[in-house]
Chains A and B, each alone.
Chain A
Amino acid sequence: MDFRYLPVTETDKAEMLEKIGVKSTDELFSDIPEKVRLDRELQLTKPKSEYELKRELTQMAAKNANTLDYTSFLGAGVYDHFIPSVVDHVISRQEFYTSYTPYQPEMTQGELQAMFEFQTMISEITAMPVVNSSLYDGGTAVVEAMNLSVGQTKKKKLLISSAVHPEHRQLVKTASVGKGVEVVEIGLKDGQTDLDQLEKELDEDVAAFIVQYPNFLGQIEPLEKIREVLDKQPKAMMVVSSNPLALGYLTPPGEFGADIVVGDTQVFGIPAQFGGPHCGYFATTKKLMRKVPGRFVGETTDENGQRGFVLVLQTREQHIRREKATSNITSNQALNAVASSAAMSALGKNGVKEMSELNMQKARYTRSQLEEANLPAAFDGSFFNEVVVKLSKPASEVNEKLFEKGFIGGFDLGRVYPEFENHMLIATTEIRSKEEIDAFVKEMGAINNG
């Protein structure tokens, strides 16, 4: 078998071994105790030539129903949006995809500046002054928000709305065990956080309340009222997890006095790719800047006074602070942050607003058509691009039938909310045409009434 990634020839090898002063490469492994040395070949699938492997993997990929071939109304945290062609061309530049963390700034100004621009864009969108250069994803960003609030307030009770993404709530629960945090879920009223319950649970032990805006059920949570409730315990932080696309039209959490705003920029230029990698963002106030997890890029000057960019505030991070670091996070999602930046740059000031509005318009059309097909929305509140409908049968059954007609249906809410059995969460993004929506609603009506 030829290995096209291995350049050292037999002649090279002989010269190198001579320089090292050994007879064979095996001698270089002689420090591995015999007892732990593997005395057989690894049992792996036989390697394939480039052509054969590509063909096999193409066939494997073809076993998956993709959202280019099928018309998808599935969202629930991961959305099927328009991705400008520029995005893939930008992130395919090897200087972005094969470099690593810009520890040597003179050689990596491009990456550093791209991160600085990402920070600025998310700062603009969320109306928060301080943004890091990305985290693993929206879910882990919620966990980091919990960690920051607990560390900062020294309080051990965390309130979280039941309308926060179910998986994000699970991550919080998993991580709370390490941190010794008590997590209390605040229930729902008509698809939004129950503010009476929030008020009841809010006491002086609370580190933070985490709410999602728009929430998992598509509803626009009343951040203004939530802020009023939280003001009764001024130390409790207001953490908002927010779809940044929605903020093209909705008032950003920063304007409601949020302490921390987190979310995922998957909506900007990142394909679903089965749930990851996506790109978390973490935005906060100047006051909390030095407690933030992950990397920051800051502006500075070089010896000649020319503008440049460097990693800053690294004394928060694990490679310096070790067990006293603000977080154990090492890598970020740089490549995806560049993808999102390219998408946000292409859309620009007006495009982000326009795309946000298009989502709202199309989702309202879906909602009104579904209502006409005898599938009224379950909630009356304002929403972004997702609606919940109650079905006459299990959502999984409806989805199977939709799939036969070329549709990927909505999210089966009964999977995670027992109270919403037979409810489906339906997302309509800007790329769904009127014809697609009409055809989907027609099938939905027929299946539901059939």
Chain B
Amino acid sequence: MANENFPLIFERSKEGRNGYNLPALDVPEVNLEEELDSAYVRKVQANLPEVDELELMRHYTGLSNRNFGILSGFYPLGSCTMKYNPVINEDVIRLPGFSHIHPYQDTKTIQGALELMYDLQVHLEEITGMDEITLQPAAGSQGEWTALMIFKAFHEANGESHRNEVIVPDSAHGTNPSSAAVAGFKVVEVKSNEKGLVDVEDLKKVVNENTAALMLTNPNTLGLFETEILEMSEIVHEAGGKMYYDGANLNAIMGYARPGDMGFDAVHLNLHKTFTGPHGGGGPGSGPIGVTDELKPFLPKPVVVEKDGQYDFDYDLPQSIGMVKTYYGNFGINVRAYTYIRTLGAEGVKKVSEGAVLNANYLMRSLEDSYDLPFTQHCKHEFVLSGNRQKKQGVKTLDIAKRLMDFDIHPPTVYFPLIVEEALMIEPTETESKETLDHFIDTMKQIADETENNQDVIHSAPHKTTVKRLDEATASRKPKLRWEAEV
């Protein structure tokens, strides 16, 4: 297919073909057109493709061949925890008793589902050190927003509805300030210091009587543990604010430390990252949150309760912020996360974090001579290099990313966090072998050499992908968001 457009499914369509057989109409036919007001009878059919089953399977197989997954190769996309997605998870969710149950069935007929949810909550409570977990939020960002709405309700219940400021470090994920804004808060930024950690002196300055919360990722987006976390919790709590833990980086510390013991009042988890959701090409995710006892009354409803071995939903929560996601969250993802945790147990979960941190530090120390390393202390599960040295020689971080593709390596996260110039954010995860890491190290060193001796090969990269570098600017300036039939 080289140099030929891979056809859209619409371009494979031919009138008269179909890829389905539906059950026959076995009831007496009613004349629908007579019954319905003609204004509501569709006149022009939706122009969906007409393809037979083989053509359909070839199409999607072809698309998958033009995509890169964790089984294709190394995928060190920082902040996204691209670990192996165990295949047993996929078998378990496909059990009819998990995949074919309706959310409105009588709870007596879905005890297994409720038991799984309840037990998953118990496991996540222990891992995070929080008092109560809700599985309702659909993803991390919804978890963040849910927790902020809980803080809001808490402050209001205490007669402190004036607390309208949420503090966010300059190294934070973009979702933090964004969730705060959606929850109706004003965003206040706190600076990082020269070690890449929150500047505690600056925190003292921005905390005041309007502080509703501090949102923090720990380890932070630079992969560094916030060593002054207890001081920070104290400062925020003394001012009457709440501490929020962004769980994107929990993979670094499981079994070593728990957000609940650091003074956090609410925590979200990304089950599709840390607990092998899987990633799904961008979702679905699952973003449970955990809270302390004091915040429990405000949790979204319903919550799963257990009494004498029987499970049920409790909707009777007068102080609840309400429902945040239809039904009970992304159950299908939660089943996978539960399967993963039960495969590992306490020992395995801790080994996961040990492995993630070992792999990241090994990569970091192996690459620190070839690239700039702005923060030199031990990292946790990920680290951030700067491509500044290469940029001065004419090779941008984007070029390095494209060149990595020639070696069947998915590029790291680039240009984030914002506080590092030409950032390359690298998260190997614990499921990668030393051989894979060594291949990455060799490749990165080769690119550093090429920057000095053979830049053309970098600038013309990628060489093996199905398309060359794409014109993203025009695509956004004149967006073409759907296929149009040629007239």
User: Can you name 20 A-B residue pairings with CB atoms under 8 Å?
Assistant: A12-B433, A19-B365, A45-B123, A45-B342, A54-B91, A63-B111, A66-B101, A93-B61, A95-B68, A100-B77, A102-B282, A110-B63, A173-B322, A220-B36, A249-B32, A298-B475, A299-B483, A319-B173, A353-B45, A365-B27
Judged by a CB distance under 8 angstroms, whether A419 is at the interface is: no
Evaluate contact between B181 and A323: CB separation under 8 angstroms.
yes
Q: Which residues of A contact B49 (CB under 8 A)?
A: 345, 348-349
Evaluate contact between A177 and B184: CB separation under 8 angstroms.
yes
Total A-B Cβ pairs within 8 A: 688
Question: How distant is the Cα of A362 from the Cα of B27 in the complex, in angstroms?
Answer: 7
Question: How distant is the Cα of A63 from the Cα of B105 in the complex, in angstroms?
Answer: 13
What 6 A-B pairs come out closest when comparing CB atoms?
A275-B327, A61-B97, A63-B112, A47-B345, A335-B280, A110-B67
Question: How distant is the Cα of A39 from the Cα of B66 in the complex, in angstroms?
Answer: 47
Indicate which residue in B278, B350, B467 contacts A306 across the interface (CB closer than 8 Å).
B467
Having A136-B325, A299-B481, A348-B19, one finds 19 other A-B pairs with CB under 8 Å, namely A6-B352, A20-B361, A42-B349, A45-B345, A47-B344, A61-B112, A67-B101, A82-B23, A94-B72, A96-B280, A131-B482, A139-B326, A174-B149, A177-B184, A300-B475, A308-B470, A313-B479, A329-B141, A348-B17
Judged by a CB distance under 8 angstroms, whether A190 is at the interface is: no
* Shortest beta-carbon distance from A397 to chain B in Å: 11
Q: Which residues of A contact B462 (CB under 8 A)?
A: 106-107
Q: Which residues of A contact B254 (CB under 8 A)?
A: 42
Q: Which residues of A contact B72 (CB under 8 A)?
A: 94-95
Question: How distant is the Cα of A428 from the Cα of B110 in the complex, in angstroms?
Answer: 22
The answer to whether residues A434 and B27 also contact, given A93-B61, A106-B405 and a CB cut-off of 8 A, is yes
Evaluate contact between A335 and B284: CB separation under 8 angstroms.
yes
Judged by a CB distance under 8 angstroms, whether B202 is at the interface is: no
Q: Which residues of B contact A252 (CB under 8 A)?
A: 42, 46
Map CB proximity to B onto A342-381 as digits: 1 under 8 Å, 0 otherwise: 1011111111111101101110110000000000000000
Evaluate contact between A403 and B282: CB separation under 8 angstroms.
no
Q: Which residues of B contact A234 (CB under 8 A)?
A: none
Judged by a CB distance under 8 angstroms, whether B419 is at the interface is: no
The answer to whether residues A53 and B18 also contact, given A60-B112, A344-B48, A345-B48 and a CB cut-off of 8 A, is no
Evaluate contact between B32 and A8: CB separation under 8 angstroms.
no
Judged by a CB distance under 8 angstroms, whether B453 is at the interface is: no
Evaluate contact between A312 and B481: CB separation under 8 angstroms.
yes
* Shortest beta-carbon distance from B184 to chain A in Å: 4
> Closest A-chain residue to B54, C-beta based?
A86
> Closest A-chain residue to B283, C-beta based?
A331
> Which segment, of A115-123, A195-203, A204-212, faces chain B?
A115-123
Judged by a CB distance under 8 angstroms, whether B297 is at the interface is: no
The answer to whether residues A60 and B115 also contact, given A94-B71, A177-B184 and a CB cut-off of 8 A, is yes
Indicate which residue in B111, B433, B466, B483 contacts A8 across the interface (CB closer than 8 Å).
B433
Residues of A within 8 Å of B, CB-based: how many? 209
Question: How distant is the Cα of A1 from the Cα of B325 in the complex, in angstroms?
Answer: 38
Evaluate contact between A433 and B23: CB separation under 8 angstroms.
yes
> Closest B-chain residue to A128, C-beta based?
B482
* Shortest beta-carbon distance from A441 to chain B in Å: 12
Query: Within B96-133, which residues are at the interface with A (CB < 8 Å)?
Result: 96-106, 109-113, 115-116, 119, 123, 126-127
Question: How distant is the Cα of A237 from the Cα of B349 in the complex, in angstroms?
Answer: 50
Q: Which residues of A contact B142 (CB under 8 A)?
A: 136, 140, 328-329
Judged by a CB distance under 8 angstroms, whether B193 is at the interface is: no
Evaluate contact between B95 and A61: CB separation under 8 angstroms.
yes
Q: Which residues of B contact A298 (CB under 8 A)?
A: 475-476, 479-481
Question: How distant is the Cα of A304 from the Cα of B61 in the complex, in angstroms?
Answer: 24
Q: Which residues of B contact A50 (CB under 8 A)?
A: 88, 343
Indicate which residue in B64, B175, B227, B380 contacts A110 across the interface (CB closer than 8 Å).
B64
* Shortest beta-carbon distance from A445 to chain B in Å: 17
Evaluate contact between B282 and A334: CB separation under 8 angstroms.
yes
Question: How distant is the Cα of A12 from the Cα of B6 in the complex, in angstroms?
Answer: 43
Q: Which residues of B contact A19 (CB under 8 A)?
A: 362, 365-366
Q: Which residues of A contact B458 (CB under 8 A)?
A: none
Evaluate contact between A335 and B283: CB separation under 8 angstroms.
yes
The answer to whether residues A6 and B431 also contact, given A303-B468, A331-B140 and a CB cut-off of 8 A, is yes
Map CB proximity to B onto A233-268 as digits: 1 under 8 Å, 0 otherwise: 000000000000001111110000000000000000
Judged by a CB distance under 8 angstroms, whether B230 is at the interface is: yes
* Shortest beta-carbon distance from A96 to chain B in Å: 5
Map CB proximity to A onto B452-487 as digits: 1 under 8 Å, 0 otherwise: 000000000010011111111011100111110000
Evaluate contact between A105 and B470: CB separation under 8 angstroms.
yes
The answer to whether residues A276 and B330 also contact, given A44-B123, A64-B101 and a CB cut-off of 8 A, is yes
> Closest A-chain residue to B284, C-beta based?
A277
Judged by a CB distance under 8 angstroms, whether B240 is at the interface is: no
Map CB proximity to B onto A70-94 as digits: 1 under 8 Å, 0 otherwise: 0010101110101010101110111
Question: How distant is the Cα of A433 from the Cα of B149 in the complex, in angstroms?
Answer: 46
Greatest chain A CB density within 10 A among B29, B72, B98 is at: B98
Map CB proximity to A onto B48-89 as digits: 1 under 8 Å, 0 otherwise: 111101001101111111111111100101001011111010
Question: How distant is the Cα of A447 from the Cα of B46 in the complex, in angstroms?
Answer: 42
* Shortest beta-carbon distance from A312 to chain B in Å: 5
Indicate which residue in A15, A20, A95, A365 contacts B64 across the interface (CB closer than 8 Å).
A95
Greatest chain B CB density within 10 A among A44, A174, A317, A408 is at: A44
Evaluate contact between A74 and B104: CB separation under 8 angstroms.
yes
Q: Which residues of B contact A344 (CB under 8 A)?
A: 48
Evaluate contact between A21 and B30: CB separation under 8 angstroms.
no
* Shortest beta-carbon distance from A44 to chain B in Å: 4
* Shortest beta-carbon distance from A242 to chain B in Å: 12
Greatest chain B CB density within 10 A among A99, A174, A247, A271 is at: A99
> Closest B-chain residue to A117, C-beta based?
B9
* Shortest beta-carbon distance from B154 to chain A in Å: 13
Q: Which residues of B contact A100 (CB under 8 A)?
A: 75, 77, 80, 82, 279, 281-282
Evaluate contact between B471 and A302: CB separation under 8 angstroms.
yes
Map CB proximity to B onto A143-181 as digits: 1 under 8 Å, 0 otherwise: 000010000000000000000010110110111011110
Judged by a CB distance under 8 angstroms, whether A281 is at the interface is: no
Question: How distant is the Cα of A121 from the Cα of B469 in the complex, in angstroms?
Answer: 27
Evaluate contact between B3 and A318: CB separation under 8 angstroms.
no
Question: How distant is the Cα of A30 from the Cα of B442 in the complex, in angstroms?
Answer: 29
> Closest B-chain residue to A327, C-beta based?
B182
Judged by a CB distance under 8 angstroms, whether A189 is at the interface is: no
Question: How distant is the Cα of A297 from the Cα of B8 in the complex, in angstroms?
Answer: 14
Question: How distant is the Cα of A364 from the Cα of B31 in the complex, in angstroms?
Answer: 10
Judged by a CB distance under 8 angstroms, whether B393 is at the interface is: no
Evaluate contact between B109 and A64: CB separation under 8 angstroms.
yes
* Shortest beta-carbon distance from A115 to chain B in Å: 8
Evaluate contact between A136 and B48: CB separation under 8 angstroms.
no
Question: How distant is the Cα of A3 from the Cα of B355 in the complex, in angstroms?
Answer: 12
Q: Which residues of A contact B144 (CB under 8 A)?
A: 328
Judged by a CB distance under 8 angstroms, whether B446 is at the interface is: no
Q: Which residues of B contact A222 (CB under 8 A)?
A: 37
Q: Which residues of B contact A341 (CB under 8 A)?
A: 9
Indicate which residue in A36, A54, A147, A321 contacts B92 across the interface (CB closer than 8 Å).
A54
Evaluate contact between B471 and A251: CB separation under 8 angstroms.
no
